[in-house]
């Protein structure tokens, strides 16, 4: 049974967090060996309590246990649904059965999405963008933030407390030991978990991140605590996570970081690519290498996380059945879908009887904004390579550095 955590993050505002180590593929797509948390929040007031968001249905029993520890069923006045995706609403019907008088507050679009949630549908009270609800001494302000990452997504701003309950936005994968960014946290690890989450889950809607951040700023929302639906809460440096989100949305590069991808059936492409990576390191650059081979396959989710902030992309693959190696084709499609950017591209390719891989790599990536600056396509050699190939790769790296 999964364990859950209850933590009072400010007076009478509680985090209800469960760690999911069961799900191996988030959305049945993205590899998450690090796991993920589902964060819900309970606000107690003199006029009743408010539950903001929920957990995946797998953990509904534990969520009811946590609620029973904090409040009586008839004390729960409202359930706020910031986002209808089932990792946040899988528990909704059971919570409403447990709390028979609770009203659901959600974006107006959720009315067409709650057909399979009869209790929620009956008790739904849509809230407008910027609408405020007062309960006790608290003010809850609802801010519509479409496409973060569904069209009905919103955030809840606890105005008097300056706490922003942001659901998917500002969240990350992983099950951190601590609750806040300023405790038990290795900043680099958690920023990577945020980057991986943003690119895989929200990457297709990155332009909407910028719109949402601009909207929050225009409304004068300057939170002291950012409390997302997944991962760490941001108390020590909320401005830092906001700026990091903006940098990811804009695909800002980390200086010297080069993402290197290769697919190698029999070792030839691997040999070429590692020669190139070695030469890049000698020149002071920082290649991050992922390879598909007959003994190993990297996680696509990790590749995407490193694609978004790389300065350049190296793609190496063989021609396969008069086309591009299938796994590389799929990986490039996902890069274009989730991490497209105007960045430099270096292509390495091999062939036996006829070359097509380099052309296909260029075509796919140039169509989504990448700029090809160098191409090396060779007839397949032995995996050990040769002096001539090494010299060509050194020349290629020198050309890349000149263009840089």
pLDDT of 215 > 90? The answer is yes
Of the candidates 184, 286, 288, 276, the residue with the CA atom closest to the CA atom of residue 236: 184
CA distance 275 to 95: 58
Write out pLDDT tens, residues 273-317: 999 999 999 999 999 999 999 999 999 999 999 999 999 999 999
Kindly indicate the confidence band of residue 187, based on its pLDDT and cuts at 50, 70 and 90: low
pLDDT recorded at residue 186: 67
pLDDT recorded at residue 76: 98
pLDDT of 268 > 70? The answer is yes
Kindly indicate the confidence band of residue 394, based on its pLDDT and cuts at 50, 70 and 90: confident
What are the start-end ranges of the E strands in 71-187? 76-81, 103-106, 124-126, 132-135, 138-144, 154-158, 163-167
pLDDT recorded at residue 290: 98
Q: How many CA atoms lie within 13 A of 371 on its CB side?
A: 8
pLDDT recorded at residue 353: 66
Of the candidates 293, 290, 292, 305, the residue with the CA atom closest to the CA atom of residue 260: 290
DSSP string covering 18-76, please? EEE-S-SEETTTEE-TT-EEEEEEEEEETTEEEEE----GGGHHHHHHHHHHH--GGGE
Write out pLDDT tens, residues 33-88: 999 999 999 999 999 999 999 999 999 999 999 999 999 999 999 999 999 999 99
Of the candidates 82, 76, 209, the residue with the CA atom closest to the CA atom of residue 158: 82
Kindly indicate the confidence band of residue 348, based on its pLDDT and cuts at 50, 70 and 90: very high
Structure tokens at 236: 């020590």
286 backbone dihedrals φ, ψ, rounded to 5°: -125, 80
Show the CA angle centred on residue 291, arms to residues 29 and 366, nearest 5°. Answer: 75
Kindly indicate the confidence band of residue 404, based on its pLDDT and cuts at 50, 70 and 90: low
Structure tokens at 323: 């086309």
Contact status, residue 345 vs residue 370, Cβ threshold 8 Å: yes
Q: Most distant CA pair in the chain: distance in Å?
A: 79
Strand pairing class (344-351; 312-320): parallel
Strand pairing class (286-292; 124-126): unpaired
Kindly indicate the confidence band of residue 377, based on its pLDDT and cuts at 50, 70 and 90: confident
Of the candidates 169, 152, 166, 172, the residue with the CA atom closest to the CA atom of residue 30: 172
CA distance 96 to 91: 9
Q: At what angle do helices 357-366 and 326-338 cross, to 10 degrees?
A: 10
pTM: 0.93
What are the CA-CA distances from residue 137 to residues 9, 52, 114, 160 (Å)?
A: 17, 17, 30, 8
Kindly indicate the confidence band of residue 212, based on its pLDDT and cuts at 50, 70 and 90: very high
304 backbone dihedrals φ, ψ, rounded to 5°: -65, -40
pLDDT recorded at residue 361: 95
Q: Which domains does the chain have, with CATH numbers?
A: 4-249 (3.60.15.10), 257-398 (3.40.50.360)
pLDDT recorded at residue 151: 96
Structure tokens at 353: 């009887």
Write out pLDDT tens, residues 97-141: 999 999 999 999 999 999 889 999 999 999 999 999 999 999 999
pLDDT of 388 > 90? The answer is no
CA distance 228 to 37: 10
Contact status, residue 15 vs residue 165, Cβ threshold 8 Å: no
Structure tokens at 144: 């519509």
What are the CA-CA distances from residue 74 to residues 31, 97, 343 (Å)?
A: 40, 11, 56
Of the candidates 140, 147, 136, the residue with the CA atom closest to the CA atom of residue 79: 140
CA distance 171 to 230: 5
Instruction: Write down the mean pLDDT value for the chain.
Output: 93
Please, which residues bridge with residue 292 across strands? Answer: 263
């Amino acid at each position: 049974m999964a364990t859950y955590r209850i933590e009072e993050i400010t007076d009478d505002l509680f985090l209800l967090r469960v760690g999911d180590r069961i799900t191996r593929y988030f959305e049945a797509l993205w590899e998450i060996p690090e796991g993920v948390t589902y964060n819900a929040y309970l606000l107690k007031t003199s006029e009743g309590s408010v539950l903001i968001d929920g957990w995946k249905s797998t953990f509904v029993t534990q969520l009811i246990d946590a609620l029973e520890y904090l409040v009586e069923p008839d004390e729960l006045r409202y359930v706020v649904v910031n986002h209808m995706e089932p990792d946040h609403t899988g528990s909704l019907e059971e919570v409403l059965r447990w709390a028979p008088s609770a009203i659901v507050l959600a974006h107006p679009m959720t009315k067409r999405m709650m057909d399979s949630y009869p209790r929620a549908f009956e008790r739904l009270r849509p809230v407008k963008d910027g609408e405020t609800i007062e309960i006790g001494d608290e003010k809850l302000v609802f801010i519509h933030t479409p496409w973060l990452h569904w069209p009905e997504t919103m955030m809840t701003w606890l105005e008097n407390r300056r706490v922003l309950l942001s659901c998917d936005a500002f969240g990350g994968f992983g099950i951190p030991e601590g609750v806040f960014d300023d405790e038990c946290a290795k900043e680099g690890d958690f920023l990577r978990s945020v980057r991986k989450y943003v690119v895989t889950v929200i990457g297709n809607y990155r332009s909407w991140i910028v719109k949402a951040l601009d909207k929050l700023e225009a409304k004068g929302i300057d939170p002291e605590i950012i409390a997302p639906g997944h991962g760490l809460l941001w108390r020590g440096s909320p401005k830092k996570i906001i700026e990091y989100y903006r940098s990811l949305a804009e695909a800002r590069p980390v200086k010297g970081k080069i993402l290197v991808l290769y697919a190698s059936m029999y070792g030839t492409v691997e040999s070429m690519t590692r020669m190139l990576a070695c030469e890049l390191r000698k020149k002071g650059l920082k290649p991050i290498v992922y390879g598909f081979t007959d003994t190993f396959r990297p996680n696509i989710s990790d590749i995407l996380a490193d694609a978004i902030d790389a300065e350049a992309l190296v793609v190496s693959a063989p021609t396969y059945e008069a086309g591009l190696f299938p796994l590389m084709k799929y990986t490039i499609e996902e890069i274009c879908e989730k991490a497209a950017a105007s960045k430099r591209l270096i292509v390495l390719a091999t062939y036996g009887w006829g070359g097509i891989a380099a052309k296909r790599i260029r075509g796919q990536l140039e169509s989504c904004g990448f700029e090809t600056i160098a191409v090396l396509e060779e007839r397949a050699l032995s995996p050990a390579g040769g002096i001539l190939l090494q010299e060509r790769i050194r020349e290629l790296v020198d050309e890349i550095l000149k263009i840089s």
